[in-house]
Structure 1
Amino acid sequence: MSDSVKIEGLLGMLTVKLQDDNFVKWSYQFQSVLRGYDLFNYFIGESPCSPRFVIDTETCVTKEVIVAYKNWVKKDLALHSLLIVTLSDDVMEYVIGCKTSQEAWTCLQERFASIFVVRINQLKTEFYTSHKGGESVEKFMLKLKGIKDQLILAGEKVTENDYMIVVLSGLPVDFEMIKIVILTREIAMSLKDSIS
């Protein structure tokens, strides 16, 4: 299978389009798919471009273009195109003018880095301050699990123990006895089984 066919085949695996509010999810999917095919190194500069012209030891540089250079440019343009196809119209504005996949990736990273930090902080605040309120325990736990999964996806460390403590902290006084039993046990207990 040629590289161009392989790259075209990746399009069906990239189902998330980058918008202003989903960089973590998009980046995770994009990197996972491209790393799986050893192609992400183009985006982070670990697959440098070959010299353009053949060097003759007697006459120095010639006008003959190296085949490896042509192949690199072709592959990089295909990857750059693949990246562009995963962007929403609004986000595409940020990469217009970028000539390589690495340049486009760097622009997106710089654009979304501050938004990324703000989103992480919002998720952490919501995770650590949530309360059950009027929803069911199961719905409350699912909401917190969703936030935990997003934090982990963003590279934050959230253990099962952290999750358990956050869930227990967000439960009302009616669950005080269950909280005490779970928190004082020496052997780990399934949170879902003990609260259900």
Structure 2
Amino acid sequence: MTIEIASQLIHCKTSKELWTAAKELSGSNTRSRITLLKSEFQRTRKGSMKMEDYLSRMKTIADNLTLAGSPLSILEINSQIFAGIVVSLFEKEDLTWVELQATLLTFKNRLE
């Protein structure tokens, strides 16, 4: 046990109190981690990342959420990945209709 954790549990007088306090401490850390990961998952955009890097990043975050006890459904994962790609497309201010159409068709072909 690290000194930091021990200092937060030093007040416990019985093993039951110690166990309960340790679980609560662990739970708050886990909830905090889940909140951070979900926020990161929703904020992540493809932007200038290579598609492989973007997909790998999103998969890593989704896997970490599963490990933290808050798994995402495949629908949630896919929706957020698509949203991150679409938002990146629309952030390009000088994208012409032809460029947008070509980009979306290329993306569609990659999916197929």
Q: Could you tell me which residue of structure 2 aligns to residue 40 of structure 1? A: none
TM-score (norm 1): 0.41
The answer as to 2:16 corresponding to 1:88 is no
2:77 paired residue number: 163
Q: How does 1:1-196 map to 2 (within 5 A)?
A: 87-96=1-10, 98=12, 99-100=14-15, 102-171=16-85, 172-173=88-89, 175-177=103-105, 181=108, 194=111
Where does the alignment leave 5 or more consecutive residues of structure 1 unmatched? 1-86, 183-192
Q: So what's the TM-score if we normalise by structure 2?
A: 0.64
* 1:133 positional shift: 2.0
Percent same amino acid at aligned positions? 25
1:124–1:178 Cα change, 3 Å: farther
Structure with max Cα Rg: 1
* Structure richer in strand, relative to its length: 1
Once the two structures are TM-superposed, the CA of residue 120 in structure 1 deviates from its matched residue by 1.7
Distance 1:178 1:153, change over 3 A: farther
CA positional deviation for 1:131: 0.4
Root mean square deviation of aligned Cα: 2.8
Higher helix proportion: 2
Q: Deviations over 1:121-162 (max 9, x none)?
A: 221121122101222211111111111112112222312232
Change (3 A) 1:113 1:178: farther
Aligned residues: 97
Gaps of 5+ in 2: 90-99
Q: Is the 8 A contact 2:42 2:80 kept in 1?
A: yes
Quote the Cα distance in structure 1 between the aligned partners of 2:77 and 2:70. 13
Aligned-partner Cα distance in 2 for 1:145–1:104? 36
